[in-house]
Amino acid sequence: MSSAVYGSLRGVGRRLRVAGDRGSVTSEMVVFVVPFLIVMAMFVVFCGRAASVAIDAHAVASAAARAAADAPTPATARTAATRAANAMASGSRFNCTATTDTGQFRRGGSVTVRVACVMRMDDPGLPGVGATKTANASATEPIDIYRAGT
C-alpha cells in the first residue's frame, strides 16, 4: 500500500474511535460535578446564615444597650433593653433574650447588655446540620453625665 492510502485509512480509524467516546465528558460532568456544586452552594448558604445571626446578635445587643442607657432607672433600663431586643428580633428569623447588667447604672457609669440569639438552621435541608445556632453578643453603653434623673 502506498503511504498516502495508508495515512488516509489510519485517519479514518482514529476518527471512528473518537466518535464513539464523544459525549462521555458531558455525562461525567452531570454525574459528578453538578451534585458537588449543589452541595457547595448549600454550604455557602449555611455559612452566610451563620454569619448573619452573629451580626444580628451584635446589632441587637447595641440597640438594647443604647435603650438601657437612656432609661431613668435601673428597673426601666432592664425593661427598655428587653423591649429593644424584642423589637429588633420581631419579624426576623431569630429570637433573642437580653440580660442587662445595671451594676454601674449612675451618671458617668455604664450599662451592659448581653444577648443570646437563636436561629433555626435546618431550613436549607443540609444533612448533618443542627437544628439551631445560638449567637451570643454583648454591648456596653456609657450613661450621660448631664442627663436628668439618677
Distance separating alpha carbons of residues 70 and 82, to the nearest angstrom: 13
Q: How far is CA 67 from CA 73, 106, 112, in A?
A: 12, 15, 11
Cell numbers representing residue 46 in the block: 449555611
pLDDT at 27 over 80: no
Which three three-digit cell numbers place residue 108?
Answer: 458617668
**In the structure, what pLDDT confidence band is assigned to residue 58 with cuts at 50, 70 and 90?**
very high
* Residues 150, 132: Cα–Cα separation, whole Å: 41
Helix axes 34-69, 74-89, angle to 10 degrees: 150
Between CA 85 and CA 133 the distance in angstroms is 18
When pLDDT is averaged across residues 97-126 and rounded to a whole number, the result is: 85
Q: Which of 8-17, 94-103, 118-127, 138-147 has the lowest mean pLDDT?
A: 8-17
H or E stretch covering 114: strand 110-120
pLDDT-based confidence at residue 83 (cuts at 50, 70, 90): very high
Residue 125 DSSP code: -
pLDDT at 137: 94
Cell numbers 441587637: residue: 60
Grid cell, residue 93, equals 428569623
List, in sequence order, the alpha helices (H) in 22-150. Answer: 24-28, 34-69, 74-89
Q: What is the CB neighbour count within 10 angstroms for residue 25?
A: 9
* pLDDT of res. 20: 57
